Structure 1
Amino acid sequence: MTLPTAMTPSFRPKRRVLALAAVAATTLALGLAAPAHAADPEPMHIIVGYAPGGAADSLARLYAEQLRQDGHGTVVVENRPGASARLALDYVKRARPDGKTVFIGPSPLFTIFPLTYKKLSYDADKDLVPAAVLTDVPTAVVTGVQQPYQNMKEYVGWARHNPGNASLGLATIGSAGHLGTVALGKAEGIAITPAAYRGASPMLVDVVSGNVSIGWDAVASMMPLYKGGKLRFLGVSGARRAKALPEVPTMKEQGFGQYEHATSWYGVFVPAGTQPDVLAQVEKMFLAASANPATAAKLEALGLEVVARPGQEGRRRIQIERAAWKPIVEATGFQAED
């Protein structure tokens, strides 16, 4: 019997089968490899320490949308409310330092909390790194329109002549407005009793009705009642007038420097250990998003003032503002409770 060789007809189909199998294997391999190259990159997660609907959440979602429009892929906003945003901060500090998990939060976590809490679950100088300062958050003291005082200077005079009747409504004890008002009371020799509420809304109801003589919160949260003729602004925080309230003088203009640093700010932060090139990329992305006119207009409509400064400015502001609050906290003796 003659054995088949490479040249015999009986061998040719086998060669053809083997060749087709090789082509199929190559095609399959290429087909499996293709999705890996076409796959979307890992999405960025913006972590917010408050429930949906508030200023921080709205800000984060505006930035997320702008980053998507700028071609940075999928950007997801995650709400992790609790403990005045400390739970969200703790989550981000444990995240991989790869620029894919960032924290958008308010400055008091880094400026006031280290002074007022005996123990924090994070190191305000080491666990997170500022990538950019996004917006300032002007704050103000308000009163009901039926009250006899038109500005903060008149209120101080009224409080001096009406001992026991001066009270301050607050959504957060230990906030900049609380500490500033206590410091002002000490400086002027008047007692202004703080009244804590579960949120800005119930506090403002009592301010409008006159149950408390003044209230303090972010300008943004009080603008609807102001425009509706229910509230009067007595003075705004910071060293310059708020863009939304050019007619209202600052506290500093009226001789009360205790509120100069009561303008807080929102920044974007990344975990410690993030490589400099990754940090620079996150900074660049958020500063570019801030420069978009439509996004900036939406942020200002929320009562936020776009400042768009690099991370180094955030580090500088944290140190300056903490140093300014330290003697005030020490003079008041205030300690926050967990």
Structure 2
Amino acid sequence: MERFFSLRKVTAMLAVTCAAVGPGVAAASDTDNTPTRIVIGFAPGGALDVLARSIADKLRVSLGGVVLVENKTGASTRLAVEAVKRAPPDGKTILISPAPPFVLFPMTYARPGYDPDKDFIPVAHLADVPLVASTSVNQPFKTMPEYVSWVRKHPETAGFGMASMGGAIHFGTLAMSKSLNLPLTPTAYRGASMMVTDVMGGSLPIGIDAIASQVGLQKSGKLRFLGVTGTKRSTLLPDVPTLKEVGIPGFDMASGWYSAFVPAGTPAATVSRLEKALIEAVKDPALRAKMAVAGMEITGLPGAEASKTIQTQRAQWKPIVEASGFVAND
């Protein structure tokens, strides 16, 4: 009888203990079982989508559990940015973003809907996306200096093509125009394919876009590459000089990049764990080779480097953006 009474007491004590800690245990379990989401602001099939899904494959092993890629398009990627801003700061939602939402949008949108410095923590710099200036093989100029001379003689046809206004190429063109006193006209297209078509046809003298969208046409003899953006030659096009090398200013920081971010408030230990996993993922040789085909140079740098890049680029573009008076509208 005494034994039965003691067993009942133990059972009751266990019930009280479970009641006290039950919610916490359940919450931890739920959190552990919650899928990790990688959110991007582009549709499936593009270069960033390929990168995100390749990283997701690696994280399923290094982090364990389910890792999903969510394509949240709209408002020039700002819908994706805002969605991650509102997500719980538990490390289960990761934004992979290009440069504009963190470098240029805060200066070109009156109300972007987020504060890039207060609402996010940079986790890792994943890849650089160098761009290349191209022209038709039938144009009379074969180098950028020759193009500059040609523009001075033909100012009425000085269109300079790009995929969109309000990006680094737009402001780089303005900086180049001012520095060299050239009457350049930024010409925006709805897509790179339309721009490249006009470049090949000769109606657009020159255009700048990602290497991946043009390299096939260059290899087939339909385009001529004149220079790449950035401060050093691209490993993807080692024989093509930088624009700076050939005397063209304005494009040192015009290359694209992709970095990972989490919502502000995410614990430091969680950020550190994600940083390590993301850097290991992109430095995998097979992933690196795969992304080279998509026109990316893998970097795999810590979040502190991503933050430094953002602040440095923002400082360079700020006076150019302000002088232009450009205001972005969707």
**TM-score, reference length from structure 2:** 0.88
- Does residue 272 of structure 2 align to residue 310 of structure 1? no
- Does residue 66 of structure 2 align to residue 77 of structure 1? no
Post-superposition offset of 1:147: 0.8
2: distance between equivalents of 1:217 and 1:82? 21
Post-superposition offset of 1:203: 1.2
- Does the 8 Å CA contact 1:131/1:269 hold for their aligned counterparts? yes
SS at match of 1:240: coil
Q: How does 1:80-229 map to 2 (within 5 A)?
A: 80-229=72-221
Aligned match of 1:26: none
Aligned match of 2:39: 47
- Does the 8 Å CA contact 2:63/2:277 hold for their aligned counterparts? no
Answer with 1 or 2: which has the greater Rg. Answer: 1
Range moving further from structure 2, 309-318 or 138-147: 138-147
Post-superposition offset of 1:146: 0.9
Post-superposition offset of 1:310: 0.4
Aligned match of 1:21: none
Post-superposition offset of 1:39: 11
Q: 1:78 is aligned with what amino acid? A: E
Deviations 1:132-158 (A, max 9, x none): 000001012111111111222211111
Q: How large is the RMSD of aligned CA atoms in angstroms?
A: 2.0
Range moving further from structure 2, 300-309 or 192-201: 192-201
Post-superposition offset of 1:333: 2.5
2: distance between equivalents of 1:222 and 1:208? 11
- Does the 8 Å CA contact 1:167/1:212 hold for their aligned counterparts? yes
- Does the 8 Å CA contact 1:66/1:295 hold for their aligned counterparts? no
- Does residue 262 of structure 2 align to residue 270 of structure 1? yes
Aligned-residue identity in percent:
50
2: distance between equivalents of 1:92 and 1:261? 26
Match of 1:255 among 240, 247, 250: 247
Structure 1 residues 38 and 173, CA gap change in structure 2 (3 angstroms): closer
1: distance between equivalents of 2:189 and 2:249? 26
1: distance between equivalents of 2:67 and 2:272? 18
Range moving further from structure 2, 268-277 or 62-71: 62-71
Number of aligned pairs?
306
SS at match of 2:266: coil
2: distance between equivalents of 1:198 and 1:127? 30
1: distance between equivalents of 2:68 and 2:36? 6
Structure 1 residues 74 and 254, CA gap change in structure 2 (3 angstroms): same
- Does the 8 Å CA contact 2:175/2:249 hold for their aligned counterparts? no
- Does the 8 Å CA contact 2:162/2:186 hold for their aligned counterparts? yes
- Does residue 223 of structure 2 align to residue 231 of structure 1? yes
Post-superposition offset of 1:191: 1.3
Structure 2 stretches lacking a partner, 5+ long = 2-24
SS at match of 1:249: coil
Q: 2:40 is aligned with what amino acid? A: V
Post-superposition offset of 1:69: 3.7
Deviations 1:229-249 (A, max 9, x none): 211111111110011111111
Aligned match of 2:329: 337
2: distance between equivalents of 1:84 and 1:228? 32
Structure 1 stretches lacking a partner, 5+ long = 1-5, 7-32
